[in-house]
Amino acid sequence: MRRAYFKFSWIAAALLAPQLLIIFVFFYWPSAQALYWAFTLEQPWGGGNTWVGFDNFRKVLSDPYYWGSVRVSVIYALATTVLAMTMALTLAIFVDRQLAGYKAYRVAIIWPYAVAAPAVGLAFQFVFNPGAGIFSYINTIAPGWWDLSKYPWQAVTAIVVAGAWKQVAYSFVFFLAALQSIPRSLTEAAAMDGARPLRRMIDLQLPLLTPTFFFLLVINITDSFTDSFGIVDTLTGGGPFRATDLMVYKIYTDGFRGFDYSGAAAQSIILMLLVMALTFVQFRYVERRVHYT
Amino acid sequence: MIERTPLLNLATHVILVFGLVIILVPIWLAFVAATLTLQEVNSAPVEFWPGDQLWINLQQAWAQSDFGPKFVNTLIVATGVVVGKITLACITAFALVFFNFRGRMLIFWMIFITLMLPLEVRIVPTYAVAANALTPFQTIMDWTGISWLINAVSGVEVALEWNLLNSYTGLILPLVATATGTFLYRQFFLTIPDELVEAARMDGAGPLRFLWDVLIPLSKTNIAALATIMFVYAWNQYLWPLLVVTDRAAYGMVVVQLSDLVPDQLTTGGGTPTWHLAMAATLVVMLPPIAIVILMQRWFVRGLINTDK
């Protein structure tokens, strides 16, 4: 608490007003609206909305397509997180050794963060393209074996690889920062006790990275639920046979292509609860700063 | 600390180079595709070495997608979002830290909770609000009977309307609210010693002068870090502009243009997919934010770590 401050006046109110107005109009109102739509059903040919209780949720939760979407979202979340974090951690630990070329390595790993999700999707659509991409080799030997637009597991693999590729840089930055904040005295003490670099990685650096690790775990999972839209939209378009219809993508298609506002709202509420739970876990249980004392 | 670890050093380089190859290969392949002709790009074994068509493909992709005005639009929106976010973050945090009033924890929490409501999960109703940004106020006035009162007193029918679709305001405004930016500024303002505030007041400075002459110069590093992150964030927006802009010729943004370039049945009409043009356009679109991240690397890393995003 500050001892010296200015008295509350119209100035403070004027400074707070813009942000409050914007979050009211674009955050709280739409969220309330989603809640309203989720519990009501729009009557055909006008006539307003009627209260239907949990019917929309019941309909969504008994829809096999919805569970398919949940399933693939979970697979996507776990697979991208594991892939991206393993890669980021390995690279960060070795970049942290600061050998020759350390700065060049660092830049080369960081820049993919700046690539827009739809651009990643489009680039990977080319890379995985059966006729022109990397797997065109396989298709010259065994024609038709690789085709994203035909085989669900291949499409899921493609979005996972693309999603993980995009996430690596973010985790890398955090791992590297955490590694560099490990006090030199600790490393030196370990070295004096005879611990060689590899031993220090396993017994010193990895344990000290645990808080960062859990922080990134939650952030990566949350991001994979919300940020996947661009990749799916340009890489697979949700197909084939809805195999890559992630939750966000399904909300979008149900709401804007199917005009099923109530169904989309019910799905939004479920996703919102999921994101809230993850954010809560992140702030309540996950301490991201590394403590040494 | 001097250690001789030649084997481990070699292994380190091998692992790092291997990692780099994994990271660079997709973009390298996209780049190579952008340098080939239509026939070459669709010939079966993938080409790993660039051809000589890069400039021609870039020109054609540029003209085909009409990138000129779209780059201007994207730049306007990105700048608007960056300036808006930093200004809002700064003034909100300033009011929360340097003024004493009841309910400031409440306001802090209200801003905090927006973190849990990313655009993607409230996309349909947010779009409905963008069609008429004054809906919330209209509804509240209808409910509370104010509309009726105004109608009865003055005979004016209250019908507030502010359509944000197909406008820069609509592209920028919903994106400028920033919980993370506000926290970052709040953290920074909390480290300002009380003595500085007292000295400023003793010299007769009001709150606004204190903000402008003392705090903003002190927060230059914050501004640089936030601006880098926010620029990349704004440039790469996809879902929101995809919905808000239906008049792509006038208000289209470059990243959204990518959705038209997916070479599928729709765009090629069953013909040969024009991968070389799609990849050339992809390169053009992703270049500016990459340049920012590489040039402003220091600020970028700092911003990323401080804002958690």
pLDDT for position A134? 74
B26 and A163 Cβ atoms separated by less than 8 Å:
no
**Cα–Cα distance, A158 to B278 (Å, whole number):** 18
Q: Which residues of chain A have pLDDT under 70?
A: 1-4, 43-47, 286-293
| B218 contact partners, CB below 8 Å, separation of at least 6 | B192
pLDDT bin (cut points 50, 70, 90) of residue B136 is: confident
B2 in any annotated domain: no
Inter-chain Cβ pairs, chain A and chain B, closer than 8 A: 295
Sequence-ordered alpha helix ranges (H) in B54-167: 54-65, 67-98, 104-113, 123-131, 135-144, 146-154
**Which CATH number do you get for residue B134?**
1.10.3720.10
B26 in any annotated domain: yes
Complex ipTM, two decimals?
A: 0.86
Shortest Cα distance, chain A CAs vs residue B137, angstroms: 9
B6 in any annotated domain: no
Q: Which of A108, A134, A275 sits opposite B20 (nearest CB)?
A: A108
Residue range B240-290, pLDDT digits in tens? 998 888 887 788 888 888 888 776 655 555 567 778 888 888 898 999 999
Shortest Cα distance, chain A CAs vs residue B148, angstroms: 20
**Cα–Cα distance, A127 to A145 (Å, whole number):** 16
Q: Return the percentage of chain B with pLDDT > 70, whole number.
A: 95
Whose tokens are 């005005």? That residue is B69
Residue range B225-244, pLDDT digits in tens? 889 889 999 999 888 998 88
B102 in any annotated domain: yes
Structural domain boundaries of chain A?
58-285
CATH class of A58-285: mainly alpha
In which element (H, E) is residue B198 found? Answer: helix B194-202
- Whether a cis peptide bond, with omega within 30° of 0, leads into A240 is yes
Structure letter (DSSP) for residue B119: G
In which element (H, E) is residue A41 found? Answer: strand A40-42
Whose tokens are 């050794």? That residue is A97
Best residue in B2, B92, B115, B120 for a mutation probing chain A (most A CBs within 10 Å) = B120
B16 with A219: Cβ contact below 8 A = no
pLDDT for position B309? 46
Residues of chain A contacting B117 with CB distance shorter than 8 Å: 27, 31, 272, 275
The tally of domains found in chain B comes to 1
B173 in any annotated domain: yes
Residue range B98-123, pLDDT digits in tens? 888 888 889 988 888 888 888 888 88
pLDDT for position B76? 93
Tokens of A86: 């393993």
What's the mean per-residue pLDDT of chain B? 84
B84 in any annotated domain: yes
Cα atoms in the 13 Å half-sphere on the side-chain side of A218: 21
Q: What letters, b where the CB count within 10 A reaches 16 and e where it falls short, cover A260-282?
A: bbbbbbbbbbbbbebbeebbeeb
Residues of chain B contacting A196 with CB distance shorter than 8 Å: 3, 5
Q: Which of A210, A212, A83, A235 is nearest to A148 (CA)?
A: A235
Sequence-ordered alpha helix ranges (H) in chain A: 10-23, 29-38, 55-61, 64-95, 102-110, 117-127, 136-141, 152-180, 184-192, 197-200, 206-208, 210-226, 229-235, 247-252, 261-285
pLDDT at residue B84 greater than cutoff 90 = yes
Average confidence (pLDDT) over B7-33? 88
A94 with B16: Cβ contact below 8 A = yes
A226 with B121: Cβ contact below 8 A = yes
B122 with A27: Cβ contact below 8 A = yes
B112 in any annotated domain: yes
A111 with B294: Cβ contact below 8 A = yes
What range does the domain containing B281 cover? 21-307
Q: Which of B176, B233, B238, B237 is nearest to A113 (CA)?
A: B233
Amino acid at B46: V
A229 with B120: Cβ contact below 8 A = yes
B1 in any annotated domain: no
Q: Helix or strand or coil: residue B1?
A: coil
Whose tokens are 């890559």? That residue is A244
**Cα–Cα distance, A286 to B4 (Å, whole number):** 38
Whose tokens are 């403070």? That residue is A12
B236 with A126: Cβ contact below 8 A = no
Tokens of B186: 């709040």
What global pTM score does this model have?
0.87
Shortest Cα distance, chain A CAs vs residue B150, angstroms: 23
Residues of chain B contacting A124 with CB distance shorter than 8 Å: 26
Q: Helix or strand or coil: residue B99?
A: strand
Number of H helices, E strands in chain B: 20, 1
pLDDT for position A195? 84
